[in-house]
Amino acid sequence: MLPFLQALTYADSAYPSGRYTLSHGLEGLVQAGRACGTQQVTDVLTDHLRYTAGPGDGVATAAAVMTDDLATLVTLDHELAATKVTGELRRASSRVGRQLLQVTAQVAGRLGEEQPVVLREYAAAVAAKEAPGNQAVAAGLIHASHGLDAVTAVATELTGLAVGWAGAALRLRQCDHIGAQVAVTAAHPVIAEVADRAVRTAAELLANGDWSMVGRASPGSDLASAAHETAPARLFMS
């Protein structure tokens, strides 16, 4: 039961990680006229999960759960940062990742709990700017420290993304509250599919040590993100 409760805590939009500042690229797509209304918001979310979040952050989260080798984690962290082709995507991921590490450490400290060695070593590497501190890597280590398996950890992160996406759609006036729940519910089977695939890919990459296969295939989203960086008005950080 405890790992399940931890998963609920981290997928909650109220968790103080700073995710509420992110639209995960949706605002740029709305500004470009490529996502409008509940159906398009839902369709773009499921595509984002399959082709952007899953192959990139999903694989990284799974790998972080499955290894406790600091050198591997740092290498993975840099490779993941390189797949985020715009500055705002890299900054957003690092900002949330660093916040996750800080909040988790402070909570553990107040409860008198000791964090795993690899989590403390990784946090120290991030603080020393030896690693970018991407959200996916930090989250994977944190979830592993709470007993989550790789599939559950990835599903937790992707659920958090879907909830944040739906919240952003609401704030961007692209759907109502029911429409937001339609988007999240439609994402559930995709999350299950993508999480399973991400874990299999992470296992293969850990076995061969070639992190060049971590990545995303989302040129449209990346172009919208590039335009979003210089947009005259922005509600979200990404």
Sign of the CA dihedral running 88, 187, 170, 143: negative
Lowest mean pLDDT among 62-66, 113-117, 217-221: 217-221
pLDDT at 237 over 90: no
What single string gives the DSSP state of each residue in 39-65?
HHHHHHHHHHIIIIIIIIIIHHHHHHH
Q: Picking from 37-41, 54-58, 187-191, which range would have the lowest pLDDT averaged per residue?
A: 37-41
Q: Do residues 168 and 186 lie in contact, with contact meaning Cβ atoms separated by under 8 Å?
A: no
Task: Find out whether 42 and 182 touch, Cβ atoms under 8 Å.
Answer: yes
Question: What pLDDT is stored for residue 10 in this prediction?
Answer: 79
Higher pLDDT pick, 238 / 36: 36
- Res 124 pLDDT > 80: yes
Residue 211: predicted pLDDT? 85
**Where do the domains of the chain lie?**
36-209
- pLDDT, residue 28, reads 83
Q: What is the rounded distance in angstroms from the CA atom of residue 34 to the CA atom of residue 27?
A: 10
* CATH classification for the domain delimited by 36-209, as one of 1.10.4190.10, 3.40.50.300, 1.20.1730.10, 3.40.50.150: 1.10.4190.10
Of 81-85, 125-129, 150-154, 223-227, least confident by mean pLDDT is 223-227
Give the pLDDT confidence score for residue 94 in this predicted structure: 93
